[in-house]
Structure 1
Amino acid sequence: MASQHQPCVLVVEDESAQREVLKYNLEAEGFDVVLAENGDEALLLFEEEQPDLVLLDWMLPNVSGLEICRRIKADPGKRQIPIIMLSARSEEVDRVRRLETGADDYMVKPYSVVELMARLRTQLRRTRPSSMGERMSFSDIILDSAEHRVFRAGQSLHLGPTEFRLLSTLMEKPGRVWTREQLLDRVWGRDVYVDTRTIDVHVGRLRKALMINGGDNPVRTVRGAGYALG
């Protein structure tokens, strides 16, 4: 069974050498990487791949990095995805314009790869804490992704690997309704074929595990939509 997929980073850079350097370093850090060399391709891949973070070059042919950033941040369903802008220009005016586009961070070329990775992890820690080995809590449930352990009301619970990935996904955004397709992507991986009914089976197992010592059912079924925590 596929492990919970690694965070996917969309790299938008028109210089092939820079693209390859970023790809090499990101893959070495364990990230999935998708490459785009211009704005049109970036917007297409953004919709297809639904990356967890975008590394976006400022100066691109045709559609500029600024415009891509604006379009992504204008979409309520997508604006939470972090964007780190890469620019060769460090003038103050650029920083002001960046704030208007809604980019989450900004790095001036040439940048330190170590610093870039640190900034990237900071953004992902905010949006995908479980992938960064963070400890998460919701109500009386604690999930420790580094140690792969779950507790409820202080008692250790036994969860299978799929149920653990399901819970960690739901705990990243309590209250958010995840569709079955989104859960398939996140829990099983993009390249694995699984019937959506399989999700219902695993959600049932997760509920049973969470309620084994009593307590209410924290996983809510949203008819016609999917599942949410709380």
Structure 2
Amino acid sequence: MRALKTAILSAALALGIAGAAQASEGVKIPEQSWPHAGVFGTIDKASAQRGFQIYKEVCAACHSMRLVPIRTLAGIGFKEDELKALAAGYEVQAGPNDNGEMFMRPGIPADRFPSPFANDNAARAANNGALPPDLSLIAKARQGFEDYIYAFLTGFEDPPADMNLMPGMNYNKYFPGHQVGMPNILQPDGVTYADGTKATVEQQAKDVATFLTFVAEPHLDARKQMGVKVILFLLVFAGLMYASKRQLWSKIH
């Protein structure tokens, strides 16, 4: 029985914020307004920087971003010296050296964010058998995208009186099944934002969702800008072709 409970807990936490936004139970995820939404939308860099602060101070204790190079943060306004200082705060494995041995060294901006655990088994051992999901692509990998991340992070509540939570589980109204192993990690004023923004739970959730949207698609703004340029070019080209056609056929008629 204990093994069964551990297995269920592992599955729940492994899904974590990676759960499907609208499961078979029909959990409806509220839509939010995002500055980066739409054709002309762009990432709110200040919000993304605050989201990174939360990731670094809160989320990184359990969740990795092993697909994201540290230098990616240049896209939300981090300067080169800031990236170097940030990277140097991490110890990364390198090598082998001349003796064929791996060694640890301070990080550089080209390195990817190191995982909080040496391997998946170590992560499970530290989390009651569960494997916290990697957050590198989480914003693009789940139905609902950033809306789901926001909903999940703000969806922790006391369970209904008629609901029996399994040991080690927490109630979340937006998580499929409503029982999740991940605890509520966001608290009012749980962080002190460097820019002085009031750290409400809703603000923190929005900032985390914005940051994870950025790391999942660092070239989002550039892609949209290129799309607009292509559309404008095609409109101008279509106008020129139409004018040329009228000129040509006017002589024939």
TM-score (norm 1): 0.24
Q: Which has the higher helix share?
A: 2
Q: Which has the higher strand share?
A: 1
- Structure with the greater relative contact order (CA < 8 A, sep ≥ 6): 1 or 2? 2
